[in-house]
Every structure is written in C-alpha cells, then in structure tokens.
C-alpha cells in the first residue's frame, strides 16, 4: 500500500510517500481503507519530535517506533479480525487509531490502517469522510474536559480551532450560551460554528471586559490562570487544553507539561480547577456520543482544504501557518 513514511524526527519536508506492507491486523482490530485523515497539531509534534519529552513517552527514542504518522481517520472496513465482531467489510467508520496517549504515530496517513474496534464508530451518512476524520481526538478531548451538568455561560478561547470548534458546538448542543474568542480573520467561522457572541482577541482582552463566565474552555492558554480567574463567575470552572503553537510556546524539552503540573497542584486548593482524579470516559461510549452529535447535525466540522496523501508535508506546513478557516485533511 502507499503510505507516508517518517524515517527520523524533523521537518515535515522529510516525509515521503512510499510503498510499504499492509499493517498486521490483531484479533480485535479491523483493517480500514482510509478515505480521509485529519492534520492536527499533535501530528506535527510527533513528526518534529518536539517537545523532546514525547520521545521518552512512547513515540520512540531515536526515531518514531511507527514510521507512519496520522491518528484520526474515516474510511471503509476492508476486513475484520476474528474477535472484531462489531464491524463487517463495507461498513463506513471513523475513529482514532491510537489506543493510548496522542503523542505517537498512529499510521493513519496511509491507504490502510489497522484499528481496535472499540476506537471506531459507524460514520453517519450525513457527514463526509473528510468531516468525520476531523472529529475523533478533538471530540474526545472535549468530552473528557467538559464538566457534567448544565454549562451556563461558556467562553471558548481559540473557538475556530479543532478542539475549540468541537467544544463550541458540543457546549451549544448542551444548551450553553457560548462566546468564542478568536483572531479577526476567523470570527465569521466562529459565528458559523454557532457562537452566540464573539470576541476579537486582537482588539479585546476577555479577562478585562467585566463579563463573567461559568466555564472558560481555554485552548491557546495565552493568559495565565490568575488573569482568567477574573472572568470566572462564582463557582465557575477553568479548563486548559494548551497549545504550543508549533514550538513557539512551551519549553523545548517539556513543552507545556510544567504548566499542567502547576495547575494540577493548584487544583488541590482552587475549586475553579478540575481535579486530575476525575473519571476518563469510556472510549467506545464517547465515540458513540460523537457519532450521535454528527448525525443530529449538532456537530458539523468545517473542512478548509483536502490535500492528496502525497502532499502531506504541504498540509502540515499549511497547518502551522495558522491561516486555514476550518480543518485540514489528507486523502489517499
């Protein structure tokens, strides 16, 4: 099969399209013929090997253990292992290829990928393969972080991005009033995604407007928690997703990890911060929730551009420019 291959960590320009063996399919996995795979910041992290800590967290010390990047995809089941009874050849599915943490190559930038059946959900017929491929990890991280119960007045910082767009739409589907913060050029997209109000971060600082929110869902994390707290209503919650902006922020070796450790420590005495001990939702159930949100139209990813698989390096360059108005995918 044709696949994008990464021999070493470094610039995306080193990625090559090659012919390689089909992946081995374990008993509880299905072989998916990939129709679209999304291009998101975590893929950039593993391609470049930065921050360095990801190399000791399982991605591979000297070079990536799995040479084929990509984690999120949608496609058609080609065959199923003997214990993978949830799906049959011909089923249209979407999901994330990795079972555990994100900072590893997942093999999605290829014509075929083997995926554990519980990582997958049936792709709703009303969305394209390109749209469905944009949802898995951004949707899963959103479901993991949105608190249960009524959300009230929500601010999403970085609302046009992969994770921010999911958070905006899922919060709206749960009845929240949502304000989206973004760059001037992306405010139309934030409105299109369903925001009730928008704030242009080049003109205004959301922490100084006097408005109070029950939940601040902060993707870029460009303001310290101490400042964001000013914009929290009594009993409100602050969630940091974090974004290293392709090495421009975060530390070279540890990335944003020290900041997360700092917030986790503060969560012991700050009720605004979620406790690290909160339960992690079941993957299979969460994928079913995302499929329902897509099917109902509550979650409608907007795709800016699809690149042919051979042009994956260009797709990653386009991602880091930050000018896309919506998601980016590659198609084999």
Ligand X SMILES: NC(=O)c1ccc[n+]([C@@H]2O[C@H](COP(=O)([O-])OP(=O)(O)OC[C@H]3O[C@@H](n4cnc5c(N)ncnc54)[C@H](OP(=O)(O)O)[C@@H]3O)[C@@H](O)[C@H]2O)c1
Separation CA 176–CA 228 (nearest Å): 19
Q: Is 49 in the site for ligand X (CB under 6 A)?
A: no
SS3 45: helix
CB contact at 8 A, 71 and 42: yes
Could you give the C-alpha distances from 325 to 161, 162, 184, 187, 290, in angstroms and in order?
9, 10, 12, 10, 22
Tokens of 294: 């897509």
CB contact at 8 A, 92 and 118: no
Return the number of the residue (25 or 180) whose C-beta is nearest ligand X. Answer: 180
Near ligand X by CB under 6 A, which window of 56-64, 120-128, 207-215, 238-246?
238-246
Q: Is 122 in the site for ligand X (CB under 6 A)?
A: no
The CB-of-184 to ligand X minimum distance in angstroms stands at: 9
Q: Is 220 in the site for ligand X (CB under 6 A)?
A: yes
Return the number of the residue (35 or 40) whose C-beta is nearest ligand X. Answer: 40
Count of residues that bind ligand X according to CB under 6 A = 27
SS3 content of the chain, % helix, strand, coil (to 5): 30, 25, 45
Tokens of 17: 């399209």
Separation CA 311–CA 212 (nearest Å): 44
Return the number of the residue (79 or 128) whose C-beta is nearest ligand X. Answer: 128
Cβ neighbourhood burial of 24 (10 Å; 0-12, 13-18, 19+): exposed
Return the number of the residue (80 or 319) whose C-beta is nearest ligand X. Answer: 319
The CB-of-170 to ligand X minimum distance in angstroms stands at: 13
Q: Is 145 in the site for ligand X (CB under 6 A)?
A: no
Q: Give the number of other CB atoms < 10 A from CB of residue 279.
A: 7
Which of 226, 308, 220, 314 lies closest to 262 in space, CA to CA?
226
The CB-of-190 to ligand X minimum distance in angstroms stands at: 9
Return the number of the residue (246 or 298) whose C-beta is nearest ligand X. Answer: 246
Near ligand X by CB under 6 A, which window of 7-15, 56-64, 154-162, 229-237?
154-162
> What track of x and - describes contact with ligand X for positions 171 through 190 (by CB under 6 A)?
----------xxx--x----
Answer for which of 41, 75, 124, 194 binds ligand X (CB under 6 A) is: 41
DSSP per residue over 229-246, as a string?
GGGEEEEEEEEE----TT
Q: Is 219 in the site for ligand X (CB under 6 A)?
A: yes
Residues 244-303 within binding reach of ligand X (CB under 6 A): 244
Return the number of the residue (102 or 119) whose C-beta is nearest ligand X. Answer: 102
Separation CA 144–CA 287 (nearest Å): 12
Q: Is 222 in the site for ligand X (CB under 6 A)?
A: yes
Near ligand X by CB under 6 A, which window of 40-48, 121-129, 224-232, 270-278?
40-48
Which residues of the chain form contacts with ligand X (CB under 6 A)? Answer: 40-42, 102, 137-138, 141, 157-158, 160-164, 181-183, 186, 201, 219-220, 222, 241-244, 322
């Amino acid at each position: 099969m044709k696949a994008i291959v990464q021999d070493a960590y470094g610039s995306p320009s080193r990625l090559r399209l090659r012919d390689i063996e089909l992946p081995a399919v374990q008993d509880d996995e299905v072989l998916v013929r990939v129709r679209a795979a999304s291009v998101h910041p975590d893929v950039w992290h593993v391609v470049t090997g930065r921050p360095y800590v990801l190399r000791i967290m399982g991605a591979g010390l000297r070079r990536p253990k799995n040479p084929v990047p990509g984690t999120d995809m949608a496609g058609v089941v080609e065959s199923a292992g003997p214990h993978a009874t949830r799906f049959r050849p011909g089923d249209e599915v979407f999901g994330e290829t990795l079972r555990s943490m994100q900072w590893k190559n997942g093999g999605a930038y290829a014509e075929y990928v083997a995926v554990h059946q519980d990582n997958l959900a049936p792709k709703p017929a009303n969305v394209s393969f390109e749209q469905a491929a944009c949802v898995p990890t951004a949707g899963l991280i959103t479901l993991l972080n949105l608190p249960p119960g009524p959300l009230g007045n929500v601010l999403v910082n970085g609302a046009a991005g992969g994770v921010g767009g999911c958070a905006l739409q899922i919060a709206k589907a749960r009845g929240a009033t949502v304000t989206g913060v973004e760059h001037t050029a992306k405010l139309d997209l934030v409105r299109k995604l369903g925001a009730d109000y928008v704030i242009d971060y080049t003109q205004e600082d959301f922490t100084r407007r006097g408005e109070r929110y029950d939940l601040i869902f902060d993707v870029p994390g460009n303001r310290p928690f101490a400042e964001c707290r000013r914009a929290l209503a009594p009993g409100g919650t602050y969630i940091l997703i974090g974004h290293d902006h392709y090495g421009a922020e975060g530390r070279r070796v540890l990335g944003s990890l020290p900041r997360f450790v700092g917030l986790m420590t503060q969560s012991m005495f700050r009720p605004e911060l979620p406790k690290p001990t909160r339960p992690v939702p079941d993957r299979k159930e969460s994928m079913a929730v995302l499929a329902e949100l897509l099917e109902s139209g509550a979650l409608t990813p907007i795709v800016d551009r699809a690149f042919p698989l051979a042009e994956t390096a260009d797709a990653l360059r386009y991602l880091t420019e930050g000018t896309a108005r919506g998601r980016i995918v590659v198609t084999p």
